[in-house]
Every structure is written in C-alpha cells, then in structure tokens.
Amino acid sequence: MAALAEGSGLDARAAVRAVLEQRAGEPGALLPILHDIQDGLGHIPADLVPEIAEALNLSRAEVHGVVTYYHHFRAEPAARHVIQICRAEACQSMGAEALLAHAQLRLGCGAHGTSKDGTITLEPVYCLGLCASSPAMMLDDEPHARVTPRTFDALVAQARSES
Amino acid sequence: MSITLYVPRDSAALAAGADRVARRIAQEASARGLDLQLVRNGSRGMFWLEPLVEVATPAGRVAYGPVTVDDVAGLFDAGFLEGAAHALHLGPTEDIPYLKKQERLTFARMGITDPVSLTDYQAHEGFAGLRRALAMAPADIVQQVLDSGLRGRGGAAFPAGIKWKTVLATPAAQKYIVCNADEGDSGTFSDRMTMEGDPFMLIEGMTIAGIATGATMGYVYVRSEYPHAIAAMNEAIRRAEAAGFLGNDILRSGKRFSLEVRKGAGSYVCGEETALLESLEGKRGIVRAKPPLPAITGLFGQPTLINNVITLASVPLILARGAEFYRDFGVGRSRGTLPMQLAGNIKYGGLVEKAFGVTLRELLYDYGGGSASGRPIKAVQVGGPLGAYLPETQWDLPLDYEAYAAVGGTVGHGGIVVHDDTADLSKLARYAMEFCAIESCGKCTPCRIGSIRGVEVIDKIRANQNRPEQVILLRDLCSTMVNGSLCAMGGMTPFPVLSALDHFPEDFGLVVPDRKAA
C-alpha cells in the first residue's frame, strides 16, 4: 500500500492515458509514447509502466527494458533545469573535462546528479553537434558554445534567478 | 524600400547568440524607423564567424561577423545596411576564401536560403530532381544513383545504388524509406546542418527514394540531442505536405509518399542501421545479426531502404543534373563530394565540402588555419569515435575511402577532430573504450565485456603495472573485438585505440627503445 500511496497521482495517470489513447495504434509507438510522457511529466513513473505495457500488448519487462536502455529516459524527475555538458572528443580537445569538473564543483553534484539547491540537474552528453564551437553545452533546449567556467557560472546564475 | 538581412538559425549560430542579435537588430531598426526584412537562414558553416549577419545589397550579399549584441548599434551607425566598412566587415560573402575554395554541391543552398521557404528552395534548383524522377521509370532512377557512384555517407560507404536496387527488386505490399539521422559521431554536424538549414533537400531525396523503390512511407530518425533539427524537419514536412510535395498525390502524379520524424533517445549505437530499425519498432536499440539485410527484411519485417542524411540529400542533385555530373567529382572509387567537418581544436572550424582527394593537411591549414590554441597539432581523429588517430606522417594521404582503409583508418561521416600537443593519446584511447562500454548495446560479448576490460588494461598501462604484458594483452583484446563483434561499435573501437598506441607510444609510457614491444 505504501508503494501505491507514494505512486503517481491521478493527474499523471490521466496524462499517460491521454497519450496512450492518442498513440497506441501507431506502428512502433513505444518511443513516441515515452517521449510524450516524459515531456509532459518530466519522467516515466515506474508505477505507470504496467498501464503502458497493457495498452501496447507488451510485457512490463519489455517496457521497463526500453525505459532503462535509453539514456534519455529517466525514472525520476530531473530538476527544473537540465544542463548537458558534452564530453566527446571534439569538446575534450578544447577543455570539456575541466568544464565538467568545474560544473560539478560549482553545482555540488556529480554527473547525473542534481545541484544542492535542487534547481539544476547535470548530465554528461556525447555530442551536441556543435563540435566546431567547443566546448559545448545545452541549458534546457538552448545551445551554448565555447563555454568557459565564467560563462557557465553566468548561465547558472541566470537559470537560478528564473526558477 | 525594404532591406533584407540574414541572421542564421543554425544551432551553432544560436549557441553563439544569434537569437539575441536578431532581436537587437529588430529593436534597433524599429527605433530608427527602418523597414527591415529579417530572414533566419541556415549557416554558411564558418562557425568562428557566427553569428554571421548578412545584408542584401545591390552588389550582392555582404557579411559581418562575428556580431555580438553590443555591436549592433555601431553597425547601424556605420551604415552596414548599405554594406559599408566596419571592423566586422568581411566583404561579399561569396568571396570569403573559406567558402570560395569549396565545391559545394550538396551544401549549395546552405546559408543562402530560408530553410523552411518553399519559394526559396525552388528558386535554387529545389525539386528539380523530384520533377525529373516523376517522369522516369523506377529502375532508371535507381540506375542514375548507381551510375553516380554515390556511397553511403554515414560511414560504411556501401554503394547506395545497390541498396536501392535490392529494395526495388524485393516485392512487398509495404516498403519503407528510413533516414538515419542519428548523427552521434563527435566532430560531425553535417546532418544537423542539413536538417536545420536545408530540410527540403532531405525530404526531396527521401521522396525520390520512395518513388524509385516503391516505398510509400518514410521515417527520419533524429537524435534527441538535436531539438532544433527536429523542429525544422517537422515544419518543413508540414509545408511540403500542404504544397503537394508529399502525400497521396505528389505533384498530381498519382504517386504517394508520406514522411514522419521519429525522435531517438540518447543511444549512440542506434546509429547502426539494424539497431535503429529496432528502435523505430519501439524496442531497445539492439543490433540485429545480418543477414537478413534490411533491404529485404527491414522495418517491421518489410523491405527497407536505410540511408544516412547526406546520402539521401545528395540524390536530388544527382537526378537534377545527371549521374555524370556528380561522378565527375572525386577520385578512384570515391565519387562526388564529401561535406567534411573541421572540429575540435581548430582555428577556423566549420563545414568544408570538397571533392574526395583533398588532403588532411590542406583541410587543417589552408582551411582550418591550424589549431585554435596556437599550439602544434599532434593528432587528428578522422571518422568519429571509431576512427583512427592520424599522426602528421599521414596528413598527406588523399581523403578517399580506400586510401584511409589502407592505413587502418576510416573516412566515416567526414568528421575531423583536431588535438594539439597537450593531448594525451593514452587518455583518448581509454576514452574510446569507455565510450564503447557506455554505449554498447550488450548483444555481443567482445563489445560488451571487451570494452570494460579495455578500460582496465589501459588503466594498468598508464599506471605502469606490468606494462609490456598489458600492451600485448591490449592488442590481443583489440583483435578479438575487431574480429568477433557483431557491428562496428565493438569492431571499430580498436581503431582509435591501436592507432594511438602505434603512433604515440610515448603517451603510453613506452619509451622509444620499447617501440618494438608496442
């Protein structure tokens, strides 16, 4: 019962049902469905996996397998803002490692973690396609190029003032 | 009279502040009572100049860059709307040597047009290929692609026409065209630029592929890291449908073809064609064993043509100008051009489209201007995370598929990542194994376990624990991965590792007399 009490509320369930109703008939619908759910709720609540599975005539294990296979899908909500710092080769050649270390220190969390004040989740990412303007990062859906520790701090301060 | 101004909407321009510059220009113009038409074009691909603002003057387009918000008022004061002199004045855009020396076939419209304007697209040869294809028999379209010598631009370089021919020859009630836009290689962005800066070209290429092979449904599988590309593709598809370039009766020919964008979810291995098909079917992106080939049993078990963005985007021009036109560029068995991407520690990074046969040295110095740090260039990784690290002795090779394969390298998707002399190649080799461990789909053992053992062995080499023995072990492990992996993920991860070890043994603590042991 405790698990139920801690589970997703009615709103989340209704949102998932709406997505399923709209998309369950599409060919290969699982990824689009998971994207819609995560875009709406911020994550894929584990207690709603059985409902998704049933709508698609899949086993719970199959849906769980897909949710956990892809780096993009998260079982827990992220903070209000997500920073993705590229750590692929092109960005490494321009100091991405140092930038990631700076970000961890400044936010007080590790990669895949959330800052101490709970406003920013830090994710490493493997290429944003901004390889001629390295090092690169995304703040939510906004790309930033040639990021220095100073510009990083300014972006963080700006994001925090908005949240 | 209204003046037309261009501020790019490409992600790399946005990352440099193009939206803020565009807003400031609009504010400044309205404060001065000027009638401006602001076009958000694609990028010309000279990223050190972004945001690159262009003004249409009677003498042609004049460029200014890189423009910051603080430069805008001064540009107005200097009279940049008439193309006047200013510290950021670069002259006529087309005369900038970086652009002028290129051979832009696939990227001919890039940065020139409004990416989602059908009028612009058609004013620049757009849909000429589709119109020709609609008047041809499917087998003749396939023959054009075969004759052009076009090879898969995603990395594997398989002759495109053979795939097309196989799909055409395989009867089925439903066939599919799938565009692999899961551009995950570090140092590459030509797919992203195409989708953001000239999406109709990809739509046209896929539509021609559909007509040629009998496929009526197409999917563009775009990585989730590219939100702007996804938005531009969706917008372009919507407009193309509304204007009758897609749908149930393409240009009243009676032929039908529909397109849908599908978003990836952060898995590198989904760039492998069979893993991508699994992902499109709503499953984990696990590699399939081949055969069966996707051309025969592909998406949902049906014949499927799966090609990279640049491969499909090359097709409209081949159809519009003829196979011979395209084939006349290039060398040996590498025909046509390759949009190469200069990235990493490079002064003038960007998109350079040239015919095959150009050398890395020309690209690094004549175009790239050397390293961004000003330090000597030490190693260049060509072809993405699975490509070899090339030392200076190999920079004079002609860039073509066979010449690179002969030295254990790969041209791949044309990504060129530059490292200066502060790079530690043992660290980069370790990263190659680490990346493989993170991204392995897990189906085959050499990749899944080999990559983790690879990280451990390189750690021991770096820490000087039984170094000579560990080097032997690493080579043995690499041989197992190359020969035993199911796909290129595990099969090519040894390329960067072994090239680092072979060409930069000192970074692994192997002194020159030990070179033989290495």
User: Within 10 Å of residue A158's Cβ, how many Cβ atoms?
Assistant: 11
Q: What angle do CA B42, B47, B53 make, to 5 degrees?
A: 55
Q: Tell whether A1 is within 8 A of chain B (Cβ).
A: no
Interface test with A, best of B21, B174, B225 (most A CBs within 10 A): B225
Instruction: Give the pLDDT confidence score for residue A162 in this predicted structure.
Output: 83
Listed in sequence order, the DSSP H helices in B362-444 are 401-406, 425-439
What tokens does A66 get? 């897909």
Instruction: Give the pLDDT confidence score for residue B411 in this predicted structure.
Output: 97
The length of chain B in residues reads: 518
- Min Cα distance B144 → chain A (Å) is 32
Q: Tell whether A73 is within 8 A of chain B (Cβ).
A: yes
What tokens does B470 get? 């560990």
Instruction: Give the pLDDT confidence score for residue A9 in this predicted structure.
Output: 79
Q: How far apart are the first and last CA of chain B?
A: 70
Would you list the DSSP string of B117-134? -HHHHHHTTTTHHHHHHH
Residues of A within 8 A of B15 (CB-CB) are 130, 133, 136, 143-145
Angle of helix B190-197 relative to helix B309-321, nearest 10 degrees, comes to 60
Instruction: Give the pLDDT confidence score for residue B512 in this predicted structure.
Output: 64
Q: How many whole angstroms separate alpha carbon B435 and alpha carbon B5?
A: 43
* pLDDT (average), residues B367-392: 98
pLDDT at A163 over 90: no
State yes or no: cis peptide before A135, omega within 30 of 0: yes
- Min Cα distance A1 → chain B (Å) is 31
Q: Tell whether B79 is within 8 A of chain A (Cβ).
A: no
What is the percent of chain B where pLDDT is above 70? 98
Q: Tell whether B505 is within 8 A of chain A (Cβ).
A: no
ipTM for this model:
0.95
Of the partner residues B50, B192, B385, the one whose CB lies closest to the CB of residue A129: B192
Instruction: Give the pLDDT confidence score for residue B511 in this predicted structure.
Output: 79
* Chain A nearest-CA residue for B377: A93
Q: How many whole angstroms separate alpha carbon B468 and alpha carbon B472?
A: 7
What tokens does A141 get? 């859906």
Q: What angle do CA B343, B347, B348 make, to 5 degrees?
A: 70
- Tens-place pLDDT, residues B204-239: 999 999 999 999 999 999 999 999 999 999 999 999
Angle of helix B494-503 relative to helix B467-484, nearest 10 degrees, comes to 140
Quick one: CA torsion of B469, B473, B479, B484, rounded to 10 degrees? 160
Size of interface A-B (CB pairs under 8 A): 156
Is B283–A88 a contact, with Cβ atoms under 8 angstroms apart? no
Non-local CB neighbours of B55 within 8 Å, separated by 6+ positions: B3, B4, B5, B6, B61, B62, B64, B80, B81, B82, B83
Residues of A within 8 A of B448 (CB-CB) are none
Q: How many whole angstroms separate alpha carbon B10 and alpha carbon B189?
A: 11
The length of chain A in residues reads: 163
Q: How many whole angstroms separate alpha carbon B509 and alpha carbon A44?
A: 47
H or E stretch including B217? Answer: strand B217-222
Listed in sequence order, the DSSP H helices in B62-136 are 72-78, 97-100, 118-123, 128-134
* pLDDT (average), residues B122-150: 98
Coil vs helix vs strand at B23: helix
Q: How many whole angstroms separate alpha carbon B1 and alpha carbon B3?
A: 7
Q: Which residues of B385-401 are buried (b: 16+ CB within 10 A; e: fewer)?
A: bbbbbbbeebbebebbb
Q: How many whole angstroms separate alpha carbon B123 and alpha carbon B113?
A: 9
Q: Which residues of B284-300 are buried (b: 16+ CB within 10 A; e: fewer)?
A: bbbbbeeeebbbbbbbe
**Cα-only R_g, chain A:** 18
* pLDDT (average), residues B340-369: 98
Of the partner residues B279, B417, B431, the one whose CB lies closest to the CB of residue A90: B417
Q: Where are the domains of chain A?
A: 2-69, 81-162
Average pLDDT of chain B, as a whole number? 97
Phi-psi region of B92 (alpha: psi -120 to 50; beta: other; left: phi over 0): beta
Is A89–B381 a contact, with Cβ atoms under 8 angstroms apart? yes
Q: Tell whether A53 is within 8 A of chain B (Cβ).
A: no
Is B11–A129 a contact, with Cβ atoms under 8 angstroms apart? yes
Q: Tell whether A71 is within 8 A of chain B (Cβ).
A: yes
Quote the pTM value.
0.96
Q: Tell whether A32 is within 8 A of chain B (Cβ).
A: yes
Q: How many whole angstroms separate alpha carbon B163 and alpha carbon B150?
A: 11
- Min Cα distance A9 → chain B (Å) is 26
pLDDT band at A2 (very low <50, low <70, confident <90, very high): very low
Q: Which residues of B40-74 are buried (b: 16+ CB within 10 A; e: fewer)?
A: bbbbbbbbbbbbbbbbbbeeebbbbbbbeeebbee
Q: How many whole angstroms separate alpha carbon B20 and alpha carbon B17?
A: 5
- Chain A stretch 75-114, residues whose beta carbon is closer than 8 A to a beta carbon of chain B: 84, 86, 88-94
Is B183–A91 a contact, with Cβ atoms under 8 angstroms apart? no
Of the partner residues A56, A65, A89, the one whose CB lies closest to the CB of residue B344: A89
Q: How many whole angstroms separate alpha carbon A107 and alpha carbon A103?
A: 6
**β-pairing, B89-92 with B258-263?**
unpaired
- Tens-place pLDDT, residues B343-356: 999 999 999 999 99
Is A132–B227 a contact, with Cβ atoms under 8 angstroms apart? no
Please tell me the CATH code under which domain A81-162 is placed. Answer: 3.40.30.10
Interface test with B, best of A69, A97, A138, A141 (most B CBs within 10 A): A69
Non-local CB neighbours of B11 within 8 Å, separated by 6+ positions: A128, A129, A130, A143, B192, B196, B226, B228, B229
- B311 neighbors B153 (Cβ within 8 angstroms): yes
pLDDT at B517 over 70: no
pLDDT band at A93 (very low <50, low <70, confident <90, very high): very high
State yes or no: cis peptide before B385, omega within 30 of 0: no
pLDDT at A3 over 70: no
Average pLDDT of chain A, as a whole number? 93
pLDDT at B54 over 90: yes
User: Within 10 Å of residue B9's Cβ, how many Cβ atoms?
Assistant: 23
Non-local CB neighbours of B287 within 8 Å, separated by 6+ positions: B269, B272, B274, B275, B278, B441, B443, B444, B486, B487, B489
Instruction: Give the pLDDT confidence score for residue A8 in this predicted structure.
Output: 73
Instruction: Give the pLDDT confidence score for residue A1 in this predicted structure.
Output: 33
* Chain B nearest-CA residue for A31: B282
- Tens-place pLDDT, residues B455-486: 999 999 999 999 999 999 999 999 999 999 99
Q: Tell whether B387 is within 8 A of chain A (Cβ).
A: no
- Min Cα distance B137 → chain A (Å) is 30
Listed in sequence order, the DSSP H helices in B149-290 are 160-169, 190-197, 199-213, 227-242, 273-280
Q: Which domains does chain B have, with CATH numbers?
A: 3-100 (3.40.30.10), 118-327 (3.40.50.11540), 332-420 (3.10.20.600), 425-516 (1.20.1440.230)
User: Within 10 Å of residue B137's Cβ, how many Cβ atoms?
Assistant: 10
- Tens-place pLDDT, residues B306-335: 999 999 999 999 999 999 999 999 999 999
